[in-house]
Amino acid sequence: MIMNYIEITQNRIILINKIIEARRAEAVDFIRNIAEKVGYLNAINQVLEPVLIEIGEMWSAEKLSLAQGYVAAKITEDLLLYAVETKEWQVIAADRHTPVVLANIEDDFHSLGRKMVSTFLQASGWEVIDMGNDVTAHDIVDKAIELQAPLIGVSAMMYTTALNIKKVRQEIDSRNLQHKIKLAVGGAIFKVRPELVHEVGGDGTCTSATQAPQLFSKLLKTIKTI
Amino acid sequence: MLPIERVFHCLQGKPTDRVPYAPLATLYGARLISCHLNEYYANPQKYLKGQIAVVDKLEPDILFTPFALVMEAEAFGSKAVYFEKNPPNLKIPAIVSLADIDNLSVPELENHPRLVYLLESTKLLVEQYKNQIPIAAIVSSPTDLPALIMGIENWIDTLLFHPEETRQMLELTSSFFVKFSNTLLSIGASFIFTPASFSNSTIITQQIAKNVLIPELRSQYAKINGPIVFHHGGERLLPFLEFFHNLPNVVSFVLDPRDSFDEARMIIGNNIAIMGNINGPLLLKANPKTIEGWVLKLLENRKNDSKYIMTTSNADIPYDTPLKNLNIITETIRKYE
């Protein structure tokens, strides 16, 4: 069974409203009901992902709060728990597993943004290796090399800790990996000081966690095939 | 005029000889006296010495107690990380599960070394500058402190999905806020300076802000035995200022660097003071000429505003900020007279 344009649009509107009103359980049940009819892949691709993009745009424009972004992440996380149990998802996952390494940089202990990015990336089919808080640049790049991850995502909340991300840039460049590994940076401070992306040597950023899959896809396309 | 006269005249809308100026230079004092931060954030005498250097070099009209909010959370059991050049920050929250809230209690002020440090630093500043420079005691908002006790993620989750536990946490932090603030005022702090970002709809939903957190602030602020300065907490304040307007005992708002003073005045009127709007962390990289331009623009913008205090907004002035970048602010204000 497939959804027609009107059904897709109506479902998106209903889901957006449930996220904005923080109706987590209702939103998860709602998408699960859709998935029962059209499969998880269609439910996620046609309803959840477009809604997350819209939520991300509203959040970036400060029309939504961090809490509403958090609700979107929890709904996605809850849904993934159901999706991974299905045969349909296991087949899809086997085909979509570009590894990415995520971490909060050395001295940074604010994990919320990183966890949300991890959730949204996983929902889009990325294989996320989450190294946690307070990770040195050396360890991050080592892990990316070990797992042949073409993308690294590093998060920092404050200006002072964001400056430590420069060390990741230096590690990548000093090992001559700049054409093989791209560096995405994020965290609250990059939202208020976008010039920091350049200062710390980031290859890209996004202003909300829901936009991470688009950013990572864009960066992946810039990597030269060796 | 003495700084204390300048500031309190300003708060009352009376004429002053110049715009009062208050750089948020609590961390910077350590740099001025070349004190390691581990010692600076543990020894009240060192903090006093650092702030004496701030007075000597920057000539502020307000002095601040240590801007180290995580110390309050340490008293609840959180672990902090102390840096070489940055203020301390949260490392491990006191609790990770809602069930652990029952194990929390309001700390006794005299029993925890970090609280003793904060109180003693305040006392020393008051003794040193009594009747000369007002002392702003920095206290975490009762609506923000839970994020430092249970982590940002858990606090957002609790606010969104667990009303009973929200109430439990707010009871604890509000009780602490009132006790701590009134003690600071009783030992001579001139006002309470409280950053509050969790009651702001950039962080939490407008519904929770309006129905839970702002009523909590209203209720707790009413119990404070002195004036309160409401700091933007790193988020834009202007879009939500109407909700905070008329909170009890609030005598001033510190705006975000992105906020407009003119628009703020349209919302809150002329009876309440406004503060800001030099972006403190940006002073690190800016050059003196640029900073002079910022200050002149602000002075020109507020020249008819009798209730304006120029302060740095956002976080503490960074440790490595060149002194000339701060001196240019004082010089520009003086020249503008």
CB contact under 8 Å between A65 and B202, yes or no, is yes
Q: Where in chain A is the domain with CATH 3.40.50.280?
A: 96-222
- pLDDT, tens only, B137-156: 999 999 999 999 999 999 99
DSSP assignment string, B95-156: -SSGGGGGG--PPPTTTSHHHHHHHHHHHHHHHHHTTTS-EEEE---TTTHHHHHH-HHHHH
pLDDT category at A96 given cuts 50, 70, 90 is low
Work out the average pLDDT over B22-27.
Answer: 98
* Cα-Cα-Cα-Cα dihedral sign, residues B31, B32, B36, B41: negative
pLDDT category at B47 given cuts 50, 70, 90 is very high
Residue A208: per-residue pLDDT: 87
Determine the distance from the C-alpha atom of residue A73 to the mean position of all C-alpha atoms in its chain, rounded to a whole number.
9
Work out the average pLDDT over A9-30.
Answer: 95
pLDDT category at A192 given cuts 50, 70, 90 is confident
Query: Which of A105, A159, A160 is the best mutation test for B, with the most CBs of B within 10 A?
Result: A160
- Whether residue B247 has pLDDT greater than 70: yes
Provide the residue range defining the domain that includes B187: 3-336
Cβ neighbours of A107 in B, within 8 Å: 81, 83, 86
Answer for the pair B104, B94: CB distance below 8 angstroms, yes or no. yes
- Whether residue A25 has pLDDT greater than 60: yes
Residue B229: per-residue pLDDT: 98
| Fold topology of A96-222 | Rossmann fold (3.40.50)
Q: Which two tokens stand for residue B209?
A: 């802000």
Cβ neighbours of A161 in B, within 8 Å: 86
- Whether residue A224 has pLDDT greater than 80: no
pLDDT category at A35 given cuts 50, 70, 90 is very high
Strands (E), chain B: 21-22, 63-64, 79-81, 89-92, 135-138, 191-195, 228-231, 250-254, 273-279, 308-313
Task: For residue B252, give the CATH number of its domain.
Answer: 3.20.20.210
Q: Does A94 touch chain B (CB under 8 A)?
A: no
Q: Does B225 touch chain A (CB under 8 A)?
A: no
Q: What is the DSSP letter of B189?
A: -
CB contact under 8 Å between B201 and A65, yes or no, is yes
User: Considering only alpha carbons, which residue of chain A is nearest residue B208?
Assistant: A67
Separation CA B289–CA A149 (nearest Å): 45
Question: What's the gap in Å between the CA of B310 and the closest CA on chain A?
Answer: 21
CB contact under 8 Å between B161 and A24, yes or no, is yes
Residue of A71, A109, A192 with shortest CB distance to B91: A109
Work out the average pLDDT over A156-183.
Answer: 94
**ipTM for the complex shown:** 0.90
| Fold topology of A5-93 | 1.10.1240
Cβ neighbours of A132 in B, within 8 Å: none
Q: What is the DSSP letter of A44?
A: I
- pLDDT, tens only, A101-155: 999 999 888 889 999 999 999 888 899 999 999 999 999 999 999 999 999 999 9
Separation CA B239–CA B216 (nearest Å): 20
Q: Where in chain A is the domain with CATH 1.10.1240.10?
A: 5-93
Cβ neighbours of B151 in A, within 8 Å: 111-112
With a CB cutoff of 8 Å and minimum separation 6, the contacts of B91 are: A109, B78, B79, B80, B81
Work out the average pLDDT over B15-35.
Answer: 97
Mean pLDDT of chain B: 96
CB contact under 8 Å between B157 and A74, yes or no, is yes
Work out the average pLDDT over B186-199.
Answer: 95
- Whether residue A193 has pLDDT greater than 90: no
Please tell me the pTM assigned to this model: 0.90
Q: Which two tokens stand for residue B305?
A: 């505003």
Dihedrals phi, psi of A21, to nearest 5 degrees: -90, 10
Coil vs helix vs strand at A105: strand
Answer for the pair B88, B39: CB distance below 8 angstroms, yes or no. no
Number of domains composing chain B: 1
Q: Does A111 touch chain B (CB under 8 A)?
A: yes
Coil vs helix vs strand at B210: helix
User: What angle do helix axes A24-38 and A66-83 make, rounded to 10 degrees?
Assistant: 40
CB contact under 8 Å between A66 and B203, yes or no, is yes
Work out the average pLDDT over A174-203.
Answer: 93
Strands (E), chain A: 99-104, 127-130, 151-155, 182-186
* Chain B, window 9-38: residues with a beta carbon less than 8 angstroms from a chain A beta carbon: none
Mean pLDDT of chain A: 91
B334 closest CA partner among B14, B57, B20: B20
pLDDT category at A95 given cuts 50, 70, 90 is low
Coil vs helix vs strand at B236: coil
Residue B100: per-residue pLDDT: 97
Q: What is the DSSP letter of B280?
A: G
Q: Spell B292-313 as b/e; 16+ CB within 10 A means b.
A: bebbeebbeebeebbbbbbbbb
- pLDDT, tens only, B65-109: 999 999 999 999 999 999 999 999 999 999 999 999 999 999 999
pLDDT category at A226 given cuts 50, 70, 90 is very low
User: Considering only alpha carbons, which residue of chain A is nearest residue B235?
Assistant: A192
Residue A93: per-residue pLDDT: 67
